[in-house]
Amino acid sequence: MYAVVGARIHTAGPKGILEDAAIIVQYGKIVDVTPGRSVPVGCEVIDATGKEIVPGFIDAHSHAGMESEGLTVLDANESTDPVNPHLWALDAFNPVEKGLARCVAGGVTTIGLLPGSPMSFGGLVEQIGVVEGMGSAIKTVTKNGQPQILRERAGLKMALGEHPKRFFRESKKAPATRMNIMAMIREVLEKGRNGQVEPKFRNVAGLLKREFPARIHVHRVQDILAALRLQEEYKFDMVLEHVTEGYMVADILKDRGVPCVVGPVPMTRRGSELQNLTLSNAVILAQRGVKVAITCDHPTFPAWYLPYHAGMLVREGMGYDQALKAITIIPAEILGVSDRVGSLEPGKDADFVVFQGDPLEITSRIEAVVSDGRVVAGKLDCMSAAAGGTESWEGRRVC
């Protein structure tokens, strides 16, 4: 058992921010988070006076471990067919992919590993599907070469709008229009609700039984509304991804209770679909009461920039606590793993990051990243509980 004491702790939970507080850890779990410095007898004490502690960051929409380290390794999209409900992102997961270690070093301890394309880059239309496959919630720290799966079926990924339309049109395949994108998805949903479901459509059956949500890539209002129509017709749970024009229909999204995974925050208006892009999108959605997480869509932006993206939203008017929740507890809820991660509360996994300085500023330093109670990047000077370690971007220890 050990306790890290003296820090300002952002719990992202009901206790809010605790000044000069202690976090007590045993067997990889949080025993308690409490103001003051009193700890149980026999507990090793680590002094973190003047530091800030936040929950391990969570990116609900990530391709880290799938293709971040190479344009030539395109395992995130089975672009030979637009309809792939039977695919699993986990089957493309490479546990020694460097991006994962960099996520760890940057304090991103949990991700939603999704199939599907990162944003198009340099004007090239990248590969994508329409129904793209199953995503899972995993930790970025692997154990014995295996991913640590928090939730195997975290959502069925789909994509609407220009991106699939343009890709398949240029490949001289269907769909070439939004009409056919929707028709194809309806066909897939119908196949999932027949009595005898073919193996390829079993994930669709799970979606219709509301065992997990659909995770639908949309930018424009028209695609947001199309997704809402589809949801009304087939009664499934849904999370929207990117949601670039969401601010225009914020009240509808609020009324329908649709969570949004917005971002990447600093993206530019590349393509007609992003014409109405604004930094205020996530701010407005959150103000109107929509549940908002933000994403780096790694490798579009490296996942370890997640806290700075949250900082940009604070600059644009989002409350600090809200911005921190958008990269911790809210993505945990969206992934269906908030019983394990996302906030610092007794009984949850001991996943947290110790900062010197404001956690949402680039120039602040990460002193330690802790996953399941173990220091996995950096180290606190007197943290004898530390074991292991990992490399940061440039191949050096973080500190």
Partner 1 sequence: MLAVKGGKILTVTRGTIDEGTVLIENGKFIEVGQDVPFPPGTQVVDARGKWVVPGFIDCHCHVGIVPEGFDWEYSDVNETTNAVTGHVRAIDGIDFHDKGFQDALDGGVTAMIIHPGSANVICGTDIAVKAAGESIASRVLRDPAGMKMAWTAGGRRGPRPSKDVPYPSTRMGVAGILRQYLVLTQEYLKKLESGEQEPEKDPAKRFTFEILAKILKKEMPARIHSMTPADLYPLFRLQDEFGFDFTVDHGDEAYLVASELSRRKVPVNYGPFVGDRWIPMFPNSRPDAAKIMDDAGVLVSFQTDHPVLSIRDLRLQAAICVKYGLSPERAIRMLTINPATIMGLASRLGSIEPGKDADFSIFSGDPLMVQSRVEAVFIDGKRVR
H or E segment and range at residue 274: none
68 vs 77, beta carbon nearer partner 1: 68
DSSP state of 121: B
Taking each helix axis from N to C terminus, what angle separates 221-234 and 178-193, rounded to the nearest 10 degrees? 20
88 vs 393, beta carbon nearer partner 1: 393
All residues at 6 or more sequence positions from 43 whose CB lies less than 8 Å from its CB, including other chains: 1, 2, 3, 24
221 forms part of the interface with partner 1 (CB under 8 A): no
Q: How many helices (DSSP H) and strands (DSSP E) are in the chain?
A: 10, 16
271 vs 389, beta carbon nearer partner 1: 271
Measured distance CA(154)–CA(144) in Å, rounded: 23
96 forms part of the interface with partner 1 (CB under 8 A): no
354 forms part of the interface with partner 1 (CB under 8 A): no
Taking the complex as a whole, how short is the minimal distance between the CB of residue 196 and partner 1, in angstroms?
43
Q: What x-and-dash track marks residues 365-384 binding partner 1 by CB under 8 A?
A: x-------------------
201 vs 301, beta carbon nearer partner 1: 301
Contact region for partner 1 (CB under 8 A) — 67-75, 78-86, 152-160, 324-332?
67-75
70 forms part of the interface with partner 1 (CB under 8 A): yes
144 forms part of the interface with partner 1 (CB under 8 A): no
Taking the complex as a whole, how short is the minimal distance between the CB of residue 118 and partner 1, in angstroms?
8
Contact region for partner 1 (CB under 8 A) — 198-206, 254-262, 263-271, 286-294?
263-271
177 forms part of the interface with partner 1 (CB under 8 A): no
DSSP 3-state of 57: strand
306 forms part of the interface with partner 1 (CB under 8 A): no
CB contact at 8 A, 97 and 65: yes
Number of residues forming the site for partner 1 (CB under 8 A): 45
Taking each helix axis from N to C terminus, what angle separates 178-193 and 162-170, rounded to the nearest 10 degrees? 100
Among 81, 233, 361, 381, binds partner 1 (CB under 8 A): 361
Side-chain-side CA neighbours of 146 within 13 Å: the count stands at: 4
- The first and second tokens of residue 17, run together, are 């921010």
CA neighbor of 10 nearest in space, from 312, 358, 388: 358
Contact region for partner 1 (CB under 8 A) — 45-53, 68-76, 327-335, 339-347?
68-76
Taking the complex as a whole, how short is the minimal distance between the CB of residue 308 and partner 1, in angstroms?
5
DSSP 3-state of 60: strand
Measured distance CA(267)–CA(278) in Å, rounded: 9
Among 71, 179, 225, 382, binds partner 1 (CB under 8 A): 71
DSSP state of 230: H
Contact region for partner 1 (CB under 8 A) — 43-51, 211-219, 246-254, 272-280?
272-280
298 vs 379, beta carbon nearer partner 1: 298
CB contact at 8 A, 170 and 123: no
CA neighbor of 244 nearest in space, from 236, 235, 253: 253
- The first and second tokens of residue 163, run together, are 């991106």
Q: Enumerate binding residues for partner 1 (CB under 8 A).
A: 68-72, 99, 121-125, 162, 166, 266-272, 274-277, 298-302, 305, 308, 311-312, 314-315, 358, 360-365, 393-395
